[in-house]
C-alpha cells in the first residue's frame, strides 16, 4: 500500500507545531523516543524526523514526498520546491542586526562591512539586489556572538521574539523576509501518492479554516433579529431558532475571529445578549 512520506524538523518549535497539526487533523503517530521514522496508525503516512536544513534536498531527491518546513529554509535552499499550503504557525523573520551602540541610517551602511550568517544565499541575494558589496562570514549556530568577538559588523539571522538579540546587545535594523511554516512537495511525488496528499491537504485546510473562525450564538428579541443579521459578517444567512420564551430567538452563525470584537458593541446595542463564542476544530466549506 502506498504511503505519503512527510518530513518534519527533528526538534524545536517547528517540530512541536508540526506534530500538533497532524494531531489536530486526526492522525495518530507511533513515535518513540529518538526515532528517525514513525508510521501513522490511522492514515497512510510515514513521518521522517530530519534536520531542517537537509529537508529541501530530501524533497528534491524524492526521498520524502512532502515536508512541513519554514519558508526561510526554502528561500535559502529550495526556491525550486513547490509550496502546497501556508500553515500560519512558527512565524519568524530573517533580519539584519547590529550592535546597539552603532547607528544605522540605511542599508548603504552595510557597504564594505562583514556580515555573519547561516543564510549565505539569502544574504547574497539581498546584497546583489541592492548593489551592496559586503563580506559574508558563514557561521552555523550562535551567529549572535559574532559582533561581540570582532568577527563581524552585523549579522543576519532568524528573529522571533527578539530576546536573543537583546541578550547579545544587538538591535534589529532591517527585515529581509518574513517566514512561516509551509507544506512543501517533492517534484518527484507519484500520482498515487499525490492522491493521499490531497486527502491530507483537505484535512489541513479544514483545520486552518476552523482556526480562523468562531462559532457565535446569541439571544435577541425576535423583532430585533433582522437588524442583527444586517451587522453579522457570517458565511451565509445565520440560523435563527425560536426560544421557549415567547418573543425571543437564538441566532447561530460563523464569523471571522478578527471580526467579532469589531461588531460586539453593535450587536449589544441592537439587543443581542447571552453571546457565546466557541472555537471551531474543523470547518469544511
Q: What does the alpha-carbon distance between residue 92 and residue 166 come to, in Å, rounded to a whole number?
A: 16
Give me the domains of the chain, ranges plus CATH numbers. Answer: 4-89+180-210 (3.40.190.10), 92-179 (3.40.190.10), 213-279 (3.30.70.120)
Kindly give the confidence (pLDDT) of every residue in the chain, 285 residues in length, as a single tens digit, with 9 standing for 90 and above: 799 999 999 988 899 999 999 999 999 987 766 688 999 999 999 999 999 889 999 999 999 999 999 999 999 998 889 999 999 999 999 999 999 999 999 999 999 999 999 999 999 999 999 999 999 999 887 898 888 888 899 999 998 877 888 888 999 999 999 999 999 999 999 999 999 999 999 999 999 999 989 999 999 999 999 999 988 876 568 899 999 999 999 999 998 888 888 888 899 999 999 999 999 988 887
Residue position matching grid coordinates 536544513: 53
**b/e per residue 74-105 (b: at least 16 CB within 10 A):** bbbbbeebeebbebebbebbbbbbbeeeeebe
Amino acid at each position: 500500500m502506498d504511503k505519503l512520506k512527510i518530513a518534519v524538523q527533528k526538534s524545536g518549535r517547528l517540530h512541536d507545531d508540526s506534530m500538533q497539526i497532524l494531531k489536530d487533523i486526526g492522525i495518530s503517530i507511533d513515535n518513540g523516543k529518538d526515532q528517525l521514522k514513525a508510521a501513522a496508525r490511522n492514515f497512510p503516512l510515514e513521518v521522517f524526523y530530519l534536520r531542517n536544513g537537509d529537508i529541501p534536498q530530501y524533497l528534491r531527491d524524492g526521498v520524502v514526498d512532502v515536508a512541513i518546513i519554514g519558508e526561510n529554509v526554502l528561500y535559502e535552499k529550495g526556491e525550486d520546491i513547490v509550496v502546497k499550503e501556508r500553515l500560519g504557525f512558527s512565524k519568524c523573520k530573517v533580519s539584519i542586526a547590529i550592535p546597539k551602540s552603532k547607528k544605522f541610517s540605511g542599508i548603504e551602511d552595510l557597504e564594505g562591512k562583514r556580515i555573519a550568517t547561516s543564510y549565505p544565499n539569502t544574504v547574497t541575494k539581498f546584497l546583489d539586489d541592492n548593489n551592496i558589496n559586503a563580506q559574508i562570514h558563514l557561521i552555523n549556530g550562535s551567529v549572535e556572538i559574532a559582533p561581540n568577538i570582532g568577527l563581524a559588523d552585523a549579522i543576519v539571522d532568524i528573529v522571533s521574539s527578539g530576546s536573543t538579540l537583546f541578550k547579545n546587545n544587538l538591535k534589529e535594523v532591517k527585515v529581509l523576509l518574513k517566514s512561516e511554516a509551509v507544506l512543501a512537495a517533492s517534484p518527484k511525488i507519484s500520482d498515487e501518492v499525490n492522491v493521499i496528499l490531497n486527502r491530507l491537504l483537505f484535512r489541513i485546510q479544514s483545520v486552518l479554516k476552523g482556526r480562523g473562525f468562531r462559532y457565535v450564538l446569541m439571544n435577541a428579541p425576535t423583532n430585533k433579529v433582522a437588524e442583527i443579521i444586517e451587522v453579522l459578517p457570517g458565511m451565509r444567512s445565520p440560523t435563527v431558532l425560536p426560544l421557549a420564551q415567547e418573543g425571543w430567538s437564538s441566532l447561530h452563525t460563523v464569523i471571522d475571529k478578527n471580526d467579532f470584537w469589531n461588531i460586539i458593541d453593535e450587536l449589544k446595542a441592537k439587543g443581542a445578549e447571552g453571546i457565546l463564542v466557541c472555537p471551531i476544530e474543523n470547518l469544511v466549506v
